[in-house]
Amino acid sequence: MSFIDDLTNCNERQRRQLGNYYSQLAEAEKAAVHRRADKLFHRLRSRARGQDTGEFQLALLVIAARDYRTETETRLTERHDTTTEQIAELRRRRIARVIQSRAGNKAPLAAAIQRYRNDIHELRDAGLSWPEISRYLIRHHANAFVRSGKKAHVDPRYLARTWTQLTASHRPGDSGDLMDD
């Protein structure tokens, strides 16, 4: 059993879940987790002597995230002491996490299509069809169109629809001019 397993009493899967939980927290909640980790550091630093500092810091963050989740969410979901206000607060926090995790994120395929808009424009001017353009993008720019765990794919219908939206939102003279790059 590794030092991290010993200190956190969590296996790798549980640590990954806590990492995902931490990544979805709002900024103020992340700061609260780090304050907890700092307090733990002072309490547990004697156990870290002779250990890798990075592993110790990771273990502290895992413990702090677990404690934070336990304190904030488990307590609020227990029926005997949960008020309507507490349930509303929990719901508000969860919604804020989802909104923050999606803030500023375009659909990855749409962003990749916009990135290669000059190529697409030239290919459309040359008279290529959407399936032919799709094959070109996969052949020459596959890394931009890979989704997690799947091979590169660009649906020609999605490509055409996204291209139409890009050109419809385009105004001549904008910094987003299709030929500016």
pLDDT at 155: 87
Question: Rounded distance, CA 53 to CA 48, Å?
Answer: 7
Of residues 154 and 132, which shows the higher confidence score?
132
Question: Rounded distance, CA 120 to CA 130, Å?
Answer: 9
What backbone phi and psi angles, to 5 degrees, belong to 180?
-70, -35
pLDDT range class, residue 180, cuts 50, 70, 90: very low
The first and second tokens of residue 154, run together, are 């660009």
pLDDT at 60: 81
For the segment 122-136, the average pLDDT, to the nearest whole number, is 92
**pTM, two decimal places:** 0.42
If phi > 0 it is left, if psi is from -120 to 50 it is alpha, else beta; for residue 174 that is beta
Answer whether residue 158 shows pLDDT above 80.
Answer: yes
pLDDT at 177: 44
CB 120, CB 163: distance < 8 Å? yes
74-78, 97-101, 140-144: segment of lowest average pLDDT: 74-78
pLDDT at 32: 87
For the segment 3-19, the average pLDDT, to the nearest whole number, is 75
Answer whether residue 16 shows pLDDT above 80.
Answer: yes
If you average pLDDT over every residue of the chain, what do you get? 77
For the segment 58-81, the average pLDDT, to the nearest whole number, is 74
pLDDT range class, residue 105, cuts 50, 70, 90: low
Q: List the domain boundaries for the chain.
A: 3-102, 108-169
The first and second tokens of residue 75, run together, are 């307590």
